[in-house]
Structure 1
Amino acid sequence: MEAPVEKEKEHERTAHIDIVDDRPSPQVDGEPSPSLKDSKGWDGKLRIPKSALMTNPEALSDPEYSDDSNVLHGEEIRADENLLDSEASDTEEIMVSHSRIASIPALRLERFKNVARICLRQNVIQDIESLDSLADTLEDLDLYDNLIGHIRGLDSLTKLTSLDLSFNKIKHIKHINHLKELKELFLVANKISKIEGLEGLDNLRSLELGSNRIREIQNLDSLKNLEELWLAKNKITDLTGLGGLPKLRLLSIQSNRIRDLSPLKEVPGLEELYIAHNALESLEGIENNINLKTLEISNNQITSLKGVGPLKDLEEVWASYNQIADFADVERELKDKEDLTTVYFEGNPLQLRGPALYRNKVRLALPQVKQIDATFVRV
């Protein structure tokens, strides 16, 4: 199972500079989470293609390699000067990543009258400025991985539907609640300690706040259309605060400090729950979430699947590295789930005690399942 990934938009005219994204794959406590391996929630929108090629790959393996001896000499220009001079004035998309851009005004974006998307990832921009001239057309602004400390300069950009400020230095969520058309907001890996400043974002569908310093789920009641909430790798101890989200269908709250699932009764429409790497010892309290299809509970201290009995729509259960020891418990709680296709139990006592027979025992207990851990058992 793979979480949904943002589809790339293609345009004929694009200012594009190829780069290499050497950021590690999304991980939780050092271990990749298979169910979220492509999650935009962990790493912004993951727009940088992993297939990008290095211009000089030998630099990685040859200690004698020298950039100085391999330079093609030409006219030297400042990092953010004249970068877009060859771009057509009617382009709809500007993409300039990893180019040491320090100043948005230096790009002279006012030249472009039809720009709907700007991506200036992995630069050294400190201030959001000089975008007012694009207010009539700009819908998608991506400033992922820069040096931005404050959310400013968005006052006129009321047509924005997507804003990505992940991997910056932002401490407070401010000056965005006038963006009434915003559907996606990405603030992954900043220094945010409080959820605030979101009132008025009536059309917001996805909010990503993973890898911050948040301790409490709060101030979300106004987001009546929110469908996805990503809060992995914070310091949250309690699931209360979700009651005002009637359309929430996906909650990612991995790598926090959750012990009690009972507050999830406030979001009965939940379809996907990712709660690996927490402090769960029991699944009791999840009984009311009868619409759940995906349940990711790996790397906790859960001893029994008791609680999932009423969840008749389950399709995938990821429960690796817990303390589940009883095949009878697995059969009792999951055998009646007709749509169940995938289960993960590796690293539990029921697998560690008899690894040679483990997979056959799971097949006997759950004959409807097509995949056990990473192995497909039937098509």
Structure 2
Amino acid sequence: MVTLDFEIIARDPACGARRGRFTTAHNIVETPVFMPVGTQATVKSLSPDELEALGARIILGNTYHLYLRPGSDRIARLGGLHAFMGWNGSILTDSGGFQVFSLARINKIEEDGVVFQSHIDGSRHLIRPETSMEIQMHLGSDIAMAFDECTPYPVTFDYAHDSMERTVRWALRCREAHTRSDQALFGIVQGSVFVDLRQACLEKLVNIGFDGYALGSLSVGESKEEMLQVLENMTPRLPEDRPRYLMGVGTPEDLVEGVRLGVDMFDCVMPTRNARNGMLFTSRGSLQIKNSAYTDDPEPIERGCTCYTCQRFSRAYLRHLFMAREILAYRLNTLHNLHYYLQLMAGIRRSIEEGRFEAWRKEFYALRGGGEP
């Protein structure tokens, strides 16, 4: 088992927020951290140099997509995912489980794995836990995720129980199949919104032993209250000496609340996908750049923002680009949104170091004109 040399540097005295760092084969990652999503070996519209300049130190790649196209064996022959995409920082690859369940036109869950049809060409495939490990080892990511069954929502207790138990059996097979010494392996805690199932899953995963632990199948349709209830109950139970990862979440508010409860790692397509849809994040909330109110607006997206987009361009120009469907619109919007998310996390890290995260959190909500959740 690989050690990420995870250390906790500071804790906020008023809540569960913690400031840490871990070391991979490629660099040092400061936590709490947001990982931009690079589904197909690219964070859409941005170059590796731009990501690095924004402050990104770890990004996420997608096992399912890279397995189907261009193929993990091809990427391995070309030197691995880092060399293939020209990225010198760390990479975490997901297991492919979420995409198998959400994108494949037909899937059949068997004890051995999942049979599915590709969303690209309809070809049939079987991904087993061992297959997921083989793909991720070929990709050469710094952190691999165990293959899990992504529990849908809503779901009955009995289905969630059976799904959780299968995830644990698959996790053991992943642990046994994983042999790459320079790649960490994280386990994924399942159990839907049923806290007792989540607790049972975590206990079994800890007995198997992983380099880090993730909470999966949240923000999949459940209410914000249900998600927070799971986080409040589960995050403090995750091993203290390992990174804690909340998968696929979420809004700026989700990140702040996750940190408050002790989460170290986040990923979400929201800043990049919303950028391509014209939604831009600011400290006072979000704005839709296509709105006619910005037609003659000479202001930047957010006054005081130090990103390239805000330093150079007006809302009027950005609206023009977006309405004209110019490629530059997507690039400039993405630069701003990722800058916002990464600077949000940098501010959170500083506040924890200074022992004032709760005060920072109150300021965060006050700027947005709303109360705390």
TM-score (norm 2): 0.32
Higher relative contact order (CA 8 A, sep 6+): 2
User: By percentage of residues, which structure has more strand?
Assistant: 2
TM-score (norm 1): 0.32
Q: Which has the larger radius of gyration?
A: 1
User: By percentage of residues, which structure has more helix?
Assistant: 2
